Amino acid sequence: MEGWFVQATNKSPISTNGLHLLIAALRSFYTMIRRGVFDPQDQRFHPLYAYENPMYSKVLEVDPQRWSTGLRRHPFRIAG
């Protein structure tokens, strides 16, 4: 199984909305450093991160049905 499902509980140190915000921020962060900085001299971007974005799954992007059925059966909880 690829990926994971996180569900905040009432004892979690972060709320559900805070967790969604954190994940969105991490996705954006990795997207930005993967794209890198633009160099006006050679008119291209220079990546700051050499690997694929770890916040996205190629398996789940190809087969979204797998996300809705397989992964939600096995959540793990974050509790403080």
Confidence of residue 33 (pLDDT cuts 50, 70, 90): very high
Q: Would you say residue 12 lies in a domain?
A: yes
How many separate domains does the chain show? 1
Is the pLDDT reported for residue 23 higher than 80?
Answer: yes
Torsion of CA 4, 53, 49, 47, to 10 degrees: -170
Q: Would you say residue 48 lies in a domain?
A: yes
Pairwise CA distance, residues 74 & 38, whole Å: 41
If phi over 0 gives left and psi between -120 and 50 gives alpha, with beta otherwise, what is residue 2?
beta
Confidence of residue 24 (pLDDT cuts 50, 70, 90): confident
- Averaged over 42-60, what is the pLDDT? 83
If phi over 0 gives left and psi between -120 and 50 gives alpha, with beta otherwise, what is residue 3?
left
Domain residues for the domain of 25 are 6-78
pLDDT in the model for residue 67: 52
Q: Would you say residue 1 lies in a domain?
A: no
